[in-house]
Amino acid sequence: MSKWIEHPLIYPEKIESRLYQQVLAADVLRKGNSMIVAPTALGKTIIAALVAAERLKNYPESKVLVVAPSKPLAVQHEESFRMFLKATSSVLTGAVNPKERSKRWEEANIILATPQTIESDLIAGRYSLENVSLLVFDECHRGTGSYAYVFLANNYQSTAKNPLILGLTASPGGDEEKIKSVCENLFIRDVVVKNEDDSDVKPYFNPIEVGWVRVELAPEQKEIKGHLEGALKGRLKGLKKMGIIKSISQVSKRDILRARNRVQNRISRSAQPSRDCLIAISVLTAVFSILHSLELLETQGIRNLNGYFQRLSK
């Protein structure tokens, strides 16, 4: 078997060939509307990209829509899809004016967006989901009550010519009734749970020896890093004071994702979420963005960091 995925719409040597990811993607295409529950390390975004590539190949004039709860997440997904797929992509958020959003919708094959923005545009009649061949809900466990995911799923199922829904989540919650509710709201037919201990996953997570080569940052990189770390420290102190995290040292993006999932579960269980929970979500989103910025600065340099900032500001 080739080390890399080979597909007419996937760039060569961009996606490593992992059998469990290919099987999951194939099952979504075969079984229909599906939810994949898996930790971050298993590559849910790659599975979505594999499904998206096949849908765009089978329906060349169609679009793929990926919705995520926050602007930084939408931007990060856009970076991934742009790197993996030979297709035009664009981010739609409330920061983009309506006329420009309509233009981007018409021009792009893959749309990465916040759900409230798409909901607003659909209600205003700026475009429709008729030609969307795949709708991906990131953090799909949020699909309850009046959250925009529920509106989008209903609109999509009733208007799309070739509908397919894929829900992704790392933490669906332990409440069986809530999981059933999410499945009903998002028209999910099949739920697959994967983890690192599964026999088909384990071979890809064998312990490996990593050798680190430390490179001295340029003076301007050090200055930017200082500003970012200052912004990060203040927000982490706030989260610790709120009881969201236990320590402000060596906090990773995975730690923040887990903390955000915990807070989101609290919000989803309450008809009227507390102000503290809503503030915590906002701060966690900012922290995630800062951590990603630091990672870009240290591994890819100022140019790529500036590109990320530009996409956040659009």
Interatomic CA distance for residues 51 and 64, integer angstroms: 10
13, burial (CB in 10 Å: exposed 0-12, middle 13-18, buried 19+): exposed
131-172 pLDDT, tens digit per residue, is 999 999 999 998 988 889 999 999 999 999 999 999 999 877
Coil, helix or strand for 43?
Answer: coil
Q: What per-residue string of b and e applies to 192-223 under the rule 16 or more CB within 10 Å gives b?
A: eebeeeeeebeeeeeeeeeeeeeeeeeeeeee
160 class by beta-carbon count within 10 Å (0-12 exposed, 13-18 middle, 19+ buried): buried
Share of the chain above pLDDT 70, in %: 96
Q: How does pLDDT run across 100-114, given as a tens digit for each residue? A: 999 999 999 999 999
CATH of domain 219-313: 1.20.1320.20
d(CA 300, CA 242): 33
Q: Is the pLDDT of residue 215 over 80?
A: no
Domain boundaries, the chain: 19-203, 219-313
- What confidence score (pLDDT) does residue 303 get? 86
Hey, is 39 helix, strand or coil?
Answer: coil
| Predicted pLDDT at 95 | 86
263-280: per-residue pLDDT in tens? 877 777 777 788 888 898
Q: Which CATH number, 3.40.630.30, 3.40.50.150, 1.10.10.1100, 3.40.50.300, labels domain 19-203?
A: 3.40.50.300
Model confidence band, residue 47 (pLDDT cutoffs 50, 70, 90) = very high
Which amino acid does the sequence have at 105? W
Q: What CA–CA distance (Å, rounded) separates 96 from 81?
A: 20
